[in-house]
Structure 1
């Protein structure tokens, strides 16, 4: 086994190390979210107070993706990835204190640190792959990005289950210590194994260059914002509350269902190149993004019609959610490939960081709207907003490059 690993190409070894880092971090990230929700629910916190604990996590994700891309280009992606791992260790240890110290403000600060760590790790992992695949191997790039993205989301769902198990077996404090110890070992290995200054720009990046000057990246980032806003506007708050209130599901049923959905979503993401037909033939492009976004637009609209008509509500919602998840997974994986494809060779993390800043902004907008719109108007209204957002993402995708010549031309204009 070890001899086989030793004989692998260097680029593949580095990809496996980066993927392993991302996997380990993702497990703790998913487990931490579930641990915080369940533990603070046990302590008697109301739902709004628990939701507030994650506010800084999302806000700092927006900031980190923007600044993190600049730091990745300046310092190298191996350094930003290792910084993210170290910060997550600190965030976990911050929460390994007696309950009387776990005030809302204190936990929000720890979650802010965790949010910074998560987006540094994600930006570094996805940007790094650009340098591990030859410039003309776009199909291979798509496959590697899809596998990294899909496996990450599947493991995040596993992390939800892990968080519940750790809380039951070890308790909140010991669970934090155990996860911190695990990540510390992973961090030490990463410091040793990740080689070179992956992604470090040849020309010293300027701070003002954090904002993308590429038309294709600006368009894709705007489409990503609406795409993820469309998911979270009904998935994050509205759906779990609806399942609990209308279907009378308990917390374990709701949490288990959402975790299974995330795992299945990740599995579909990992095979997206096969689904779109771009694993062995012509690489995916703007036309591919338009087609799959347009198809996704139909799903929340049909679910909204079914709910407003009282048409087999359970079957319509659960079945519609499964179809939405599969199509959304393809769209997400496709976008994750296109941003790395469109990014410039020098300072790729600047472009990727800007793009994931838009992604985080979409999640933040969707999360806020999910709670407010559901409380004021119900789940059907959330689904209609979701439909509008995906339609806007589809329209924006019309302006994406449709072949390699257009991509290269736009990269040279920068």
Structure 2
């Protein structure tokens, strides 16, 4: 009988650890994928269904007000909660709450009052941000701090695949609305998520991302200059997207250009899928896979590039220069550049987050992300009603300019 040498033992342990990391990464990603699919479908279902009922753009935006507002609160508190009870629990709580929201909205039309819809959207907003914060932070605990290249790639793959599936969710929402109707579509998605939750409760690693010491609630606000600057840039970056994406784009495609629900859902789906695919390969595009990743220069460069695209698109729509073609082509280019910005941001926040209790830094950052989405959502309905799609695009350009200016204050590496 041959004895195992210390070197062979270390190699075997290292291989087993790597297999365990990949297994948990795959499970976290699978949970996040399924949640995102239902979240994208729900967004499209609510926008198209209530628009068909005669709601104005501003009224539809108000339906998402609590969804975005409670995303702000959830990210701020959720990071602290994840550090105390474990990211596996916060992820499973998010899945459960999304099932409740879907079941509430699947009630007969006569019971769907505006307060009920807003309350269900609030639950869905809490669920979405618990799930996202848990998924992205968990990777920090699955990858060594010395493996920044792998961290960037894993974050890019998770974020990119999530957005590709969110796009598929837009298509799914439009298709289900046309094929089976609003209530039946929501019931189908609730059953799907219930199966995912059952698997997560059984197989997801216990106490994932749980801090060894219990962090105090007063520690939820970040004291890191880099994270505060990155969070401010993220706020304006996502406000610049949602100010035209949430309300103005789907309503314009349906009312101005005469697209059907299926066509509108399909275009938005393809846009987000393409956006997600670019996010997934962002490390190759930016060339920032080494351990000595710079932060200031790439952030400023890519946000300035996005600003140029946004201004050109706004000019084309304002002066009605082949408006439909300009909109489609311009938004595809915008989506690709925005994806690189978003992926770079997502990597840097996880990289800058503290080792112990990383969910608190990530939660604070995604609180800023949710504030940007809230700002963009409200402005989307108001600006579209006031000045049409072109007003939304000009506001978007202003927000991107602020993102670029803030990015210049980032540490160099």
* TM score, norm. by length of structure 1: 0.90
Say which SS state the counterpart of residue 9 (structure 1) adopts: helix
Conservation of the 8 A alpha-carbon contact between 2:57 and 2:384 = no
The answer to which of 123-132 and 237-246 deviates more is 237-246
Q: 1:308 to 1:158 in 2, by over 3 A?
A: closer
Query: What displacement does 1:162 show?
Result: 1.8
Tell me what 2:270 maps to.
260
Q: CA deviation at 1:255?
A: 2.6
2:148–2:290 Cα contact (<8 Å) kept:
no
| Distance across 1 between alignment mates of 2:121 and 2:383 | 25
Partner of 1:232: 242
Q: Which moved more, 1:34-43 or 1:331-340?
A: 34-43
- Superposition map of 1:14-413 within 5 A: 14-41=24-51, 43=53, 45-279=55-289, 282-403=292-413
How far apart, CA to CA, are the structure 2 residues paired with 1:270 and 1:43? 37
CA offset digits 1:95-128 (Å, max 9, x no partner): 2322222211112111111111110000000000
Structure 2 residue runs without a partner (length 5+): 1-15
1:241 Cα deviation from its structure 2 partner:
3.4
Mean Cα deviation higher: 335-344 or 34-43: 34-43
Corresponding residue for residue 409 of structure 1: none
Q: Determine the C-alpha separation between the residues in 1 that align with 2:411 and 2:396.
A: 25
Say if 1:353 and 1:252 are closer, same or farther in 2 by CA, change over 3 A: same
Q: Write out per-residue CA displacement over residues 340-387 of structure 1, whole angstroms, 9 at most, x where no aligned residue.
A: 001001111111111111011111111222222233234333322222
Query: For the structure 1 residues 54 and 288, does the alpha-carbon distance in structure 2 shift closer, same or farther, using more than 3 Å as the test?
Result: same
Return closer, same or farther for 1:283/1:318 CA change in 2, 3 Å cut-off.
same
TM-score by length of 2: 0.90
User: 1:30 & 1:290 partners in 2: Cα distance?
Assistant: 30
1:256 shift after superposition: 2.1
Q: Deviations over 1:224-275 (max 9, x none)?
A: 0011111122222233333344433344333321221111111111111111
Whole-Å separation in 1 of the counterparts to 2:325 and 2:178: 33
Following superposition, which runs of at least 4 residues in structure 1 exceed 6 angstroms of deviation?
A: none
1:184 and 1:307, CA in 2 relative to 1: closer, same or farther beyond 3 A? closer
Match of 2:13 in 1: none
Gaps of at least 5 residues in structure 1 are 1-5, 404-414
CA distance in 2, matches of 1:221, 1:98: 41
The answer to whether the 8 Å contact 1:284/1:334 transfers is no
